[in-house]
Structure 1
Amino acid sequence: MRRLTSLFPSEFLEEHAEELGVVERDRKLQIPAFVWAFVFGFAAGEGRTLADFRRCYNSTADKTLSPGGFYQRLTPTLAEYFSDLVEAALDEVAVPDSVDVDVERFRDVMIADGTILRLHELLSEKYKSRYEEQAGAKLHLLQNATEKTIERFDITHEKTHDSTMFKTGSWLQGRLILFDLAYFKYRRFALIDENDGYFVSRLKQNANPVITKELREWRGDAIRLEGRQIHDVVDDLYRTYIDVEVEAEFKRGLYNGTQSLDTKRFRVVGVRNEDADDYHLYITNLPREEFLPSDLATLYRCRWEVELLFRELKTQYELDEFDTADPAVVEILVYAALLSLLVSRDLLGLVTEVADDEIVFPPERWAATFRSHAQLILSKLGEFLGYSPQPLLERLIEDAQKIHQQRPILQETLATATQPRCES
């Protein structure tokens, strides 16, 4: 329990909640219990309903909250508070588990990606979707695979292009960035190179740069590639690798109201996929002297780490299932899911430290284990923090009784409807 309370000390949770105005002066809401109820309630609950989170809180805190008292606290301010907690935890927790590639050459290996979250259709104005009568948000992550942390996260509407969320600058120096096709742009690649950074991306099908030089010589009557466009020749090749220099034309950013054309030379590598009888094509600025084509394919596989992260959020924490039309609640639930993930990985770090060195903990198996024990961990944490929740029988009575006195339950409705017939 000390591991968890050192990650989020109660004093810090209370002070920051007061700074943002999340809690009232009478302190009726016990903010540490409230935060932990969302962290572990998100992991433990089957439906992830707001009622489930309220029950988690009532089973932990000294005093219970009514449904109205609970729901009125789910505000944009609380969403901002949870976002700040995610930011605070990112500096402390390793996510994801590991990258099995030698990356000592780089200051860091970064992975940029995003995933779509399907929302209630009533949120279509705020969270615009690509499809009519739907709503969708997009979670953008910039992951540091070397330090095993998430460096940045953003939530936007679904139609926001991933590419617009990636900003170039001096921070790129010495770093390797791995992109999927959503981030493909020659100008971006040029800016990374000009900031002394490195990149590897898949080559788009509609990107067809001109080959200026072959970086590997082939014996015999090999097809000459110089002066030809890459996609025009790949279908005629059967060699194991393609390794060429290409020249790409692109528009620079606006300057004094005009955009100038420019060219830049990059390296394109093809690794043959025998099963599909084609090539996986990559574009990069990594030098051939240090990175062979097979090395680039291995490096690019690091991108699978962020895909596993998104899959864990969606399969284990059901991140893409939202049954609410309140945008603030959507943000709260997304941040709660990220907090659950971070706390889960922090506990995985503790388990790894204690266990024998030869024991391996696959991330998804660990996530399932964490979920199955989340309610027990929350109970033990409440005891550690000194909370004395209402007796179980009283909580059962409170949760099970009819809340709205004017709303008849089904049995009452049936009894009223059939009574005249019985009397007649």
Structure 2
Amino acid sequence: MRRLTTLFPSEFLEEHAEELGVIERDRKLQIPAFVWAFVFGFAAGESRTLAGFRRSYNSTADETISPGGFYHRLTPSLAEYFRDLVEATLDEVAVPDTVDADIDRFKDVMIADGTVLRLHEFLADEYEARKEEQAGAKLHLLHNATKQTIERLDVTDEKTHDSTLFHTGSWLEDRLVLFDRAYFKYRRFALIDENDGYFVSRLKESANPVVTEELREWRSRAIPLEGEQIHDVVDELHREYIDVEVEAEFDRRPYGGTQSRDTKRFRVVGVRKEDADDYHLYITNLPREEFLPSDLGTIYRCRWEVELLFRELKTQYELDEFDTTKKHVVEILLYAALLSLLVSRELLDLVTEQADGEIVFPPERWAATFRSHAQLILHELGEYLGYSPPPLLDRLIDDAQKIHQQRPVLQETLATATQPRCES
């Protein structure tokens, strides 16, 4: 419990909540219990409902809160507050390494990626989707595979292209960035190279650069590639690897009202797929003297780490099943899910430290274990923080009773409707 309260000290939670106006002066809401109820309430149970979060809070705090009082506190300020907690925690919590690749050559290996979250159609104006009559948000992550941290996150509508959220600059020096096709842009690759950084990306189907040089000699019967466009000849090749230099033409950023055209040479590598008659094609500026074609395939598999994060968020925390029509509630639940993931990783780090060095904890198996014990952890954390929730019987009565006295329950309605008929 000390590990968790060090991650989110109660004093910090209360002070920052006051700064943003999340809590009122009467302090009826106990903000540490409120935060932890969302963190562990998101992990526990088969469904993530606001009523479920309220029950988690009432089972932890000293005083229960009514449904109206709970929903009243789900505000845009709370969404901003949860986002601040996520950003404050990103650099503190490590994400376990799942790929054994030799990446010591670089200062950091960065992975940029995004995933779509489907939302209620009534949110289509706030979160515009690619298809009409739908709503969708997109979660963008920049993951540091070397330090095992999430360096940056952004939440946008679905139509915002991943590529617009990645910014080049001097920070790229001696760093390797791994991209999927959504970030493909020759100008971006040129800027990374000019900032002394490195990149590996899948080659887009629509990109067809001209081969200027083969970087490996083949037998005399091998199909010559120089002067050919790579996609025009790749289907005719049967060699184990493709390793060529290509020239790409692209537009530079407009300057002084004019836009210039430029060319840049990159390296394209093809690695034959297992049990298939075609290739995975990569474009990179990594030198052949240090990185063979097989090395690129191994390095690119590091991207699987961020894919595992997205899959865990969607399968374990049901991140893409938000049944709400309010934009700020979507953001609250999104950041609560990320907080749950970060807290889960912090506990995994603790478990790994305490366990035998030979024990392996697969991330998805750990996620399921964390979820199944989340309510118990919340209960023990509440005791550690000194909370004394009302007796269980009182909480059961409070949760089960009819909320609105003027609203008849179904059985009462049926009894009233049938009573005159029975008497007659």
TM (norm. structure 1) is 0.99
Q: How far 1:36 moved relative to its partner?
A: 0.2
Counterpart position of 1:138? 138
Please tell me whether residue 8 in structure 1 is matched to residue 8 in structure 2.
yes
Q: How far 1:55 moved relative to its partner?
A: 0.4
Q: How far 1:99 moved relative to its partner?
A: 3.1
Aligned length: 424
Distance 1:404 1:24 in 2: 25
Distance 1:45 1:141 in 2: 27
Describe the SS at the equivalent of 1:282.
strand
Alpha-carbon displacement from aligned partner over 1:199-232 (angstroms, at most 9, x marks no partner): 0000011100000001001122221111111011
Aligned-partner residue type, residue 134 of structure 1: Q
Distance 2:287 2:45 in 1: 50
Please tell me whether residue 411 in structure 1 is matched to residue 411 in structure 2.
yes
Describe the SS at the equivalent of 1:342.
helix
Describe the SS at the equivalent of 1:247.
strand
Distance 1:277 1:24 in 2: 65
Aligned-partner residue type, residue 349 of structure 2: G
Describe the SS at the equivalent of 2:199.
strand
Q: How far 1:30 moved relative to its partner?
A: 0.4
Counterpart position of 2:153? 153
Please tell me whether residue 163 in structure 1 is matched to residue 163 in structure 2.
yes
Alpha-carbon displacement from aligned partner over 1:298-322 (angstroms, at most 9, x marks no partner): 0001111111110000000000001
Q: How far 1:16 moved relative to its partner?
A: 0.7
Distance 2:98 2:221 in 1: 44
Q: What are the equivalent positions in structure 2 for 1:171-210 lying under 5 Å apart?
A: 171-210=171-210
Counterpart position of 2:83? 83
Please tell me whether residue 385 in structure 1 is matched to residue 391 in structure 2.
no
Distance 1:309 1:153 in 2: 13
Moved more, 93-102 or 294-303: 93-102
Q: How far 1:358 moved relative to its partner?
A: 0.4
Counterpart position of 2:299? 299
Query: Residue 98 of structure 1 contacts residue 148 of structure 1 at CA under 8 Å; is this kept in 2?
Result: no
Q: How far 1:19 moved relative to its partner?
A: 1.0
Query: Residue 99 of structure 2 contacts residue 301 of structure 2 at CA under 8 Å; is this kept in 1?
Result: no
Q: How far 1:255 moved relative to its partner?
A: 0.7
Deviating beyond 4 angstroms after TM superposition, the runs of 4 or more aligned structure 1 residues are: none
Aligned-partner residue type, residue 178 of structure 2: L
Query: Residue 119 of structure 1 contacts residue 322 of structure 1 at CA under 8 Å; is this kept in 2?
Result: yes
Query: Residue 324 of structure 1 contacts residue 330 of structure 1 at CA under 8 Å; is this kept in 2?
Result: yes
Describe the SS at the equivalent of 2:389.
coil
Q: How far 1:58 moved relative to its partner?
A: 0.4
Describe the SS at the equivalent of 1:137.
strand
Distance 2:5 2:411 in 1: 47
Counterpart position of 1:69? 69
- Give the gaps of 5 or more residues in structure 2: none
Distance 2:73 2:168 in 1: 38
Counterpart position of 2:118? 118
Distance 1:224 1:133 in 2: 51
Distance 2:305 2:215 in 1: 30
TM (norm. structure 2) is 0.99
Distance 1:273 1:81 in 2: 46
Describe the SS at the equivalent of 2:338.
helix
Counterpart position of 2:319? 319
Q: How far 1:97 moved relative to its partner?
A: 3.6
Moved more, 214-223 or 198-207: 214-223
Counterpart position of 1:220? 220
Describe the SS at the equivalent of 1:83.
helix
Q: How far 1:100 moved relative to its partner?
A: 1.2
Counterpart position of 2:19? 19
Aligned-partner residue type, residue 321 of structure 1: E
Counterpart position of 1:238? 238
Counterpart position of 2:337? 337
Distance 1:325 1:274 in 2: 45
Alpha-carbon displacement from aligned partner over 1:53-79 (angstroms, at most 9, x marks no partner): 000000000111100110011111100
Distance 1:332 1:138 in 2: 15
* Compared CA separation, residues 89 and 118, structure 1 to 2 (3 A): same
Aligned-partner residue type, residue 147 of structure 1: K
Moved more, 336-345 or 221-230: 221-230
Describe the SS at the equivalent of 2:192.
helix
* Compared CA separation, residues 274 and 385, structure 1 to 2 (3 A): closer
% of aligned pairs identical?
Answer: 83
Please tell me whether residue 57 in structure 1 is matched to residue 57 in structure 2.
yes
Distance 2:103 2:121 in 1: 44
Counterpart position of 2:102? 102
Alpha-carbon displacement from aligned partner over 1:6-34 (angstroms, at most 9, x marks no partner): 00000111111111111111111100000
Aligned-partner residue type, residue 240 of structure 2: T
Q: How far 1:403 moved relative to its partner?
A: 0.3
- Give the gaps of 5 or more residues in structure 1: none
Distance 1:268 1:277 in 2: 18
Query: Residue 109 of structure 1 contacts residue 178 of structure 1 at CA under 8 Å; is this kept in 2?
Result: yes
